[in-house]
Amino acid sequence: MSKRTSEAARARIAAQREAYRKQERRRRLTMVVTVGVVAVVAVGIGWWSIAQSKSEEVAGNLSPIGLQSDGTVVMAKPGVTSPVVDVYEDFQCPACRQMEETSGPTLKNLATEGKAKVVYHMITIFGQEPAKSNSLRASSAARCIPDGDKWLAFHEKLYENQPSETATGFTLDQLVKWGKEVGVTDSGFESCVREQRNVAAHQEFSNKILGEKKIQGTPTVMVNGKPLDSNTSFVPSALRDAIVNAAKG
């Protein structure tokens, strides 16, 4: 009797084990399928995110660029007066560098296509050292370049070489060197940079902008005076749509 009991028990155990193994196999399959689906979804989201925010390539010759007496720089095809795209940025601000890398080509293309008048306003958003002085040196040096094309090249050069906010950078030597590298041949350029001739004018301009325009931070992009949020200004396709739609409206 005890033997039969134990045989029955063994059979039951074997059946249980078999059932358990099956359950375990099913569990493992479900797990693999789930992980696979999750991985595909994650990659899909990442791919979509990158694809829909791709930067444009700069196409064709840039439209004329001119330094204005107030220190702003206008990039527009002759005769194009609207929509006005005001870009407020600081050479020392990392987000401005990111926006130029991401959306800069779109702004250039829209100006080239005659679909926008782009106005660059270089300001100093920083109140702390050494970032503040870095920004002041850089923006006043840029004002020493009257040629618009070279100004824009210098503008890009500075972003490429942007120092950390917590370190002294944009030294006078560097600014002179980079100016020459982008093709500034003007004999007055070096002394203008070294004597920091435009610091006062730049600071006055910057304070005026910060006071009047209620700039919350840099970069700020305004289309016909209305600020865009960063989900638009940092997404080239959205930025293009916003500006083209402003032209229609």
Q: Which residues bind another protein (CB under 8 A)?
A: 2-3, 5-6, 9-10, 13, 16-17, 20, 23-24, 26-27, 30-31, 34-35, 38, 41-43, 45-46, 48-50, 52-53, 93-95, 98-99, 101-103, 125-128, 164-166, 215-218, 230-231, 234-235, 238
Q: How far is the CB of 139 from another protein (least distance, A)?
A: 15
- Nearer CB in complex with another protein: 68/168: 168
HSE-CB at 117 with a 13 A cutoff on CA atoms is 13
Query: Nearest Cα to 142, choosing from 92, 198, 103, 187?
Result: 198
- Nearer CB in complex with another protein: 63/133: 133
Q: Among all chains, which residue has been given the structure tokens 């007496």?
A: 69
**Nearby residues of 124 by Cβ (< 8 Å), 6 or more positions away:** 90, 92, 132, 135, 136, 139, 202, 203, 206
Q: How far is the CB of 51 from another protein (least distance, A)?
A: 10
Structure tokens at 85: 């795209």
> What's the rounded Cα separation, in Å, for the pair 171 and 157?
14
- Nearer CB in complex with another protein: 94/188: 94
Q: How far is the CB of 112 from another protein (least distance, A)?
A: 22
Q: How far is the CB of 225 from another protein (least distance, A)?
A: 19
- Nearer CB in complex with another protein: 63/233: 233
> What's the rounded Cα separation, in Å, for the pair 109 and 87?
15
- Nearer CB in complex with another protein: 103/198: 103
Q: How far is the CB of 189 from another protein (least distance, A)?
A: 29
- Nearer CB in complex with another protein: 99/182: 99
Backbone φ and ψ for 73, nearest 5 degrees, come out as: -125, 125
Report the first-to-last Cα separation within the chain, whole angstroms: 95
Q: How far is the CB of 151 from another protein (least distance, A)?
A: 23
